[in-house]
Structure 1
Amino acid sequence: MKIAVVNWRDPWHPQAGGAETYAWELARRFARSGHEVCFVTARAPGQSGKDTVQDVRIVRMGGVFTVYPMVLCWLLARRGRFDVVLDCQNGIPFFTPWVVRRGTRVFCVMHHVHDRQFGVHMPGWLAAFGRFLEGPVARWSYRRHESVAVSPSTVQAMRERLGWRGTVHIVPNGVSVAQPGEVVRSPAPRLVCVGRLVAHKRVDLLLDAVESLRERWPELRVDVVGRGPEEPRLRARLPEGVTLHGYLSEEDKARLVGQAWLHVSASQGEGWGLSVLESAALGVPTVAYDVDGLRDAVRPGETGWLLPEGTDLAKGIAAALDELDHTYTVKCREWADRFSWDRSADRFTALMLGHDVEPGWEAR
């Protein structure tokens, strides 16, 4: 097949996150299987307009907002070229059904519904416009096409908050972590938080919890890994015992996570929570809020703890530290072993070929 993967950013973009990992891990596996794959995305300063990596042709154009009309024009000029388009929604989709030929199979790939997050990142009028595009406009544009979500809670949010009516398949994230060699768990309590430093991740809640936690565990350390627009502000208010590492290589990140007692996510919602499974693969359970995506990635009482929204994070972490034992490490690794990028790519390939797929992970 000739496949176009259309995603807001590529994995080498300075603001890349889990959505970019998902799109790229699938794209390179499609290419490895012999399909012709073109990854169409935005162009960050310093990036080349064209590239080829692992047999995937990469085409970059436009910035945060201009990438949308530029990609549509690019596809319109090549409307008969592709058999399949993966239209990855990162707040709003690319609306590729408007420009491709009617026989092209388009899959709208949904990580999570952004309606509540638009107001966190945008002024009121722009947030309202974003919700209009994500809701009524997208619902109409993709009414004749199948969609793919990464978790059951994303499907539920699509149905309930966007009024999505068409077929929605689930193709979960895989998990892959670097092999850091022998890692020794920290002798003193150590927490880690991994993710993009953006407002809806609510890293402030973790920083606010540190002083209270260190009253009981004076040697407690917290490592924050990631980069993003919130980094300067967060760095300026780091409490004692917290280190903000910024970007780390996969090996260094795995080594740091492997030393932690707990991984913490205070996000207000995710499509899945890739860092949760990456931590689980290293035997580290997660404390998170019971929100979209994270309620799928964390198995309460086995691989972590889910806190009701509004719960004091310090109290939730303290309770987890008190309860933590080796069984969580074992269960975490068992849970992470159920996820594979190869299996996800195989599942998506079956959908692109028009095959029925059996209920899998989502029917656990």
Structure 2
Amino acid sequence: MKIAVVNWRDPWHPRAGGAETFAWELARRFARNGHEVCFVTARAPGQRRRESVEGVLFVRMGGVLSVYPLVLGWLLPRGGRFDVVLDCQNGIPFFTPWVVRRRTRVLCVVHHVHDRQFGVHLPRWMAAFGRFLEGPVSRWSYRRHESVAVSPSTVLAMRERLRWRGPVHIVPNGVTVAAPADLVRSPVPRLVCLGRLVAHKRVHLLIDAVAELRKRRPGLVVDVVGRGPEEAALRSRLPEGVILHGYLPEEDKARVVARAWLHVSASQGEGWGLSVLEAAALGVPTVAFDVDGLRDAVRHGETGWLLPEGTDLAKGIAAALDDLDHTYTVKCREWAGRFSWDRSADRLTALMLGHDHDNDHGPGWEQEQR
């Protein structure tokens, strides 16, 4: 097949996150399996306009907002070349059905519904416009096309909050972590937080909890790994015991995660929570709030703990530390082992070929999970 992967950013963009990992891990496997893949995306300063990586052609144009009309303008005269377009929604999709031929299969890939996050990141009028595009405009634009979600939480949010009517298939994230030989668990309590430093991740809640946690466990240390627009604000308020690493190469990140006792996510909602799976692969359970995506990625009482929204995070972490034993490590590794980028790529390939008809909470998800 000739496949266009249309995504807001590529994995080397300075603001890349889990959605970019998903798009890239699948795109490179499509190319490896003999398909012709074009990854169309925004262009960060210093990035090439065109280059080929592992058989995937990258075409870059535009910035945060200008990428949307520029991609549509680029695709309009070329839409007939592609058999499939994977239109990856990051709050707002690219509306590629407007410019491709009707015979081109378009799959809208949704990681999570952004309606509540627009108000966190944007002025009120822009947030309202974003919700209008994500809801009624998207629902109409993709009414004749199938969609892909990464978790049952996302499917439910699409149905209830966006009133999405068409078929929605679940293609879960895989997991790949570096595993250097010198992975050692810390002898003193250590927490780790992975992810982009953006407002809706609420890393400040973890930082605010550190003082109370260190009263109970004076040697406790917190490692925060990631970069993003909130980094400067977080650095200005770091208490004793917190290390803000910024970006780390994969092997260094694995060492930091592997020495932690717990991984903590204070996010207000995710599509899935790729960092949860990365930590689990290294035997580290997660404490998170019981919110979209994270309630799918964390199995409460087995691979971590889910706290009701509004729970005092320090108390929740303290209880988890008291409850922690080796069985969590074993179950975390077993859970992470059920997810594979290869299997996800095979499932999405079947959908692109029109061979897979499981949708919503169908057996495809249950087989991956259970």
1:131-154, Cα deviation, whole Å (9 max, x unpaired)? 000000000000000000000000
- What is the match of residue 137 of structure 1? 137
1:151-200, Cα deviation, whole Å (9 max, x unpaired)? 00000000000000000000000000001213111000000000000000
What is the rounded CA distance, in whole Å, between the counterparts of 2:181 and 2:58 in structure 1? 33
1:201 paired with 2:201, answer: yes
1:22 paired with 2:26, answer: no
TM-score (norm 2): 0.98
What is the rounded CA distance, in whole Å, between the counterparts of 1:291 and 1:17 in structure 2? 19
TM-score (norm 1): 0.99
- What is the match of residue 223 of structure 2? 223
What is the rounded CA distance, in whole Å, between the counterparts of 1:299 and 1:255 in structure 2? 24
For the residue of structure 2 that corresponds to 1:268, the secondary structure is coil
8 Å CA contact 2:184–2:255 kept in 1: the answer is no
For the residue of structure 2 that corresponds to 1:350, the secondary structure is helix
What is the rounded CA distance, in whole Å, between the counterparts of 2:82 and 2:366 in structure 1? 30
- What is the match of residue 314 of structure 2? 314
Q: CA deviation at 1:30?
A: 0.3
What is the rounded CA distance, in whole Å, between the counterparts of 1:350 and 1:314 in structure 2? 45
What is the rounded CA distance, in whole Å, between the counterparts of 1:49 and 1:277 in structure 2? 33
What is the rounded CA distance, in whole Å, between the counterparts of 2:200 and 2:225 in structure 1? 16
1:303 paired with 2:303, answer: yes
Tell me the percent identity.
84
Gaps in structure 1 of 5+ consecutive residues: none
Q: CA deviation at 1:286?
A: 0.1
8 Å CA contact 1:273–1:293 kept in 2: the answer is yes
For the residue of structure 1 that corresponds to 2:97, the secondary structure is helix
For the residue of structure 2 that corresponds to 1:360, the secondary structure is helix
- What is the match of residue 289 of structure 1? 289
User: What amino acid sits opposite 1:195 in the alignment?
Assistant: G
- What is the match of residue 79 of structure 1? 79
- What is the match of residue 54 of structure 1? 54
What is the rounded CA distance, in whole Å, between the counterparts of 1:84 and 1:4 in structure 2? 6
- What is the match of residue 152 of structure 1? 152
For the residue of structure 1 that corresponds to 2:306, the secondary structure is strand
What is the rounded CA distance, in whole Å, between the counterparts of 1:261 and 1:357 in structure 2? 41
1:103 paired with 2:107, answer: no
User: What amino acid sits opposite 1:174 in the alignment?
Assistant: G
For the residue of structure 2 that corresponds to 1:44, the secondary structure is coil
- What is the match of residue 360 of structure 1? 364
- What is the match of residue 242 of structure 1? 242
Q: CA deviation at 1:356?
A: 2.2
For the residue of structure 2 that corresponds to 1:92, the secondary structure is coil
Q: CA deviation at 1:360?
A: 2.4
What is the rounded CA distance, in whole Å, between the counterparts of 1:238 and 1:292 in structure 2? 28
For the residue of structure 1 that corresponds to 2:277, the secondary structure is helix
- What is the match of residue 164 of structure 1? 164
* Cα RMSD for the two superposed structures: 0.7
User: What amino acid sits opposite 2:10 in the alignment?
Assistant: D
8 Å CA contact 1:265–1:286 kept in 2: the answer is yes
1:284-305, Cα deviation, whole Å (9 max, x unpaired)? 0000000000000000010000
What is the rounded CA distance, in whole Å, between the counterparts of 1:127 and 1:183 in structure 2? 44
8 Å CA contact 1:276–1:298 kept in 2: the answer is yes
What is the rounded CA distance, in whole Å, between the counterparts of 1:356 and 1:280 in structure 2? 29
* Number of corresponding residues: 364
User: What amino acid sits opposite 2:44 in the alignment?
Assistant: A
Following superposition, which runs of at least 4 residues in structure 1 exceed 3 angstroms of deviation?
none
What is the rounded CA distance, in whole Å, between the counterparts of 2:170 and 2:116 in structure 1? 22
What is the rounded CA distance, in whole Å, between the counterparts of 2:54 and 2:186 in structure 1? 37
For the residue of structure 2 that corresponds to 1:238, the secondary structure is coil
8 Å CA contact 2:198–2:228 kept in 1: the answer is yes
What is the rounded CA distance, in whole Å, between the counterparts of 1:264 and 1:275 in structure 2? 10
Q: CA deviation at 1:357?
A: 5.0
